[in-house]
Structure 1
Amino acid sequence: MKNIVITGGSSGVGLAIAKDLAQENNIIIIGRNKNKATIVRNNLGSHVKTVIGDLSKQSERELVIAQIKTIFPHIDVLIHSAGIMPRTASENINSNLLSHYYLTLGLRDVLSNSRILIVTGNPRVINLVPVCDIQNNTLARAAWLVTHKTLLMFVLADQLKDQLTTVNSFFPGDVRSELMDYTKTLTNTAVPVGKYLAISPDIKHLSGVFFDKNGTIVPLNAKKFSFEIAQKTLQQYLR
């Protein structure tokens, strides 16, 4: 039985993954809405606990980190599935990048021989759109989101390698959620790749790897994605 933390676990992709893992593992779901998280916890059973907080805000993130550590002395799997469709560049940076990065660093002392998984976007899109810092419209912010979350994987994989902790990213497929208007109309509510990447021994030693919705490794464009490029691109944000 593993100790697993899932951000955004009360809806959408995070909830789908939590459902697959809750029966055989200890789960902490992090969410912003207490009522929604409580309903999920009651539905999923006694192995599930909830911690409430907005991870984009430093003060709330620090409280979340402290609560997690009182529950789990060690985290086997940390899944970053929380995210928003940002209206501004600052929302994008704080909610979709810094929240993941600083939560991970805050939990670093309870992460060893662990796995970190970052939910991101369609690999075809990620390989096609440019990596740039322009966020002047909705499409530009969406491109920034998926490329910079993928770059974050490389930075965290390097920072945590001495702890034998792996960091990978994956596309969960198109899943019903409240994230966007079109996702509200989707019928799919399953993300089997989440459980596979969380507990399968097949990927135990892989780090800095992108997986598609079937758990297949997706080669990333080396001209856009590497540790050196990630470090250079993200240094202005990860201070």
Structure 2
Amino acid sequence: MSTSVSSLDLFRLDGKVALVTGAASGLGAAIAMGLAQAGATVAVHGNRRPADETASGIGDNAASFQADLSETDGARTLFDQVKARFGHVDILINNAGTIHRNEAENVLLEDWQRVLQVNLTSVFQLSQLVGRDLINRSARGKIVNIASLLSFQGGIRVPAYAASKGGVAQLTKALANEWAAKQIQVNAVAPGYFATTNTEALQADETRNRQILERIPAGRWGQPSDLVGATLFLSSAASDYVTGTVLTVDGGWMAR
């Protein structure tokens, strides 16, 4: 590191274009706002509902895009829209995800395929599109995938989700191996139990809420803002020698 460059400057994203999927609310919205505060121009994506509110909250250096990542052509549609507006993507945050809860013996194939398409296949599709464009431009880039504790554990009643998030962790490593020499770092963040709409049922269940909190050394649910620092680090020059890692942000859950 040059002595003329401040350590804090390594976290700046001025001049960078970031695409954050699933940014209409929750973790994605918090990440998008954090990247914008670091200087990035942010393309915020909404899947089932638009991310207009997130874009409005960020201001002039953000724009909202909508595409259905449960469709096989959704990733291409989204990438083409963003590229047409901003010209390229330097940072990709694959945050969009869905979950289906049911006993394994009762999961319908269509539900399994939908979860895998959104959580894993579209992650590969977008990574491939962004990665190929970065390579063609000989540009440095960052890809950050949002994994899960179920990248390491099996969970209960969520077989498709667990399979998809396990796949995200392995895909992260595979892409990191191929693209590190091409100045593209690929990493993942694995959130623990966060207070979002996806976990409302767990938070409302007195028994499950107690059991979860007893397992978390920090003694609390994560807040969307808790994920911003880790994602910013992996999106910035501060992590130029970090690739192929899955960083847990879980209040100590995995250490227990």
TM-score (norm 1): 0.76
Q: Deviations over 1:133-166 (max 9, x none)?
A: xxxx823223213211111112222343342211
Aligned to 1:205: 241
Tell me, yes or no, if the aligned pair for 1:55 and 1:95 is still in contact at 8 Å.
Answer: yes
For 1:142, the equivalent position in structure 2 comes to 161
Aligned equivalents of 1:52, 1:139: Cα separation in 2? 27
Aligned to 1:58, what secondary structure does the other structure show? coil
**Aligned residue type for 1:32:** N
Task: Return the offset for 1:128.
Answer: 4.6
Cα distance in 1 for residues equivalent to 2:181 and 2:237: 21
Q: Which of 1 and 2 has greater Rg?
A: 2
CA shift, 1:63, in A, is: 1.8
Percent identity over paired residues: 21
- What residue in structure 2 maps to residue 119 of structure 1? 146
Structure 1: 5+ residue runs without aligned partners? 131-136, 220-239
Structure 2, unaligned stretches of length 5 or more? 1-13, 102-110, 205-220
The structure 1 residue matched to 2:44, chosen from 15, 25, 29, is: 29
Q: Deviations over 1:147-186 (max 9, x none)?
A: 1111111222234334221111112343332223346766
CA distance change for structure 1 residues 172 and 126 in 2, over 3 Å: closer, same or farther? closer
In the alignment, which residue of structure 2 is the partner of 1:75?
Answer: 89
| Partner residue, 2:224 | 189
From 85, 95, 104, give the equivalent of 2:118.
95
Q: What is the one-letter code of the residue matched to 2:162? A: A
Q: Are the counterparts in 1 of residues 55 and 62 from structure 2 also a CA contact under 8 Å?
A: yes
Secondary structure of 2:224's aligned partner: coil
Q: 1:62 aligned to 67, 76, 80, which one?
A: 76
| Inter-partner Cα distance in structure 2 for 1:97 and 1:76 | 21
TM-score (norm 2): 0.71
8 Å Cα contact 2:192/2:222 also seen in 1: no
Give 2:247's aligned amino acid.
F
Task: Give yes or no for contact 2:44–2:62 (8 Å, CA) kept in 1.
Answer: yes
Determine helix, strand or coil for the equivalent of 1:138. Answer: coil
Of residues 13, 19, 31, the one that matches 1:17 is 31
Whether the 8 Å contact between 1:4 and 1:27 is mirrored in structure 2 is yes
Which of the two has greater helix per residue?
2
May I ask how many residue pairs the two structures share in their alignment?
Answer: 208
8 Å CA contact retained: 2:21, 2:46: yes
1:194–1:182 Cα change, 3 Å: farther
Q: Structure 1 pair 65/46, CA: closer, same or farther in 2 (3 Å)? A: same
Secondary structure, in 3 states, of the residue corresponding to 1:75? coil
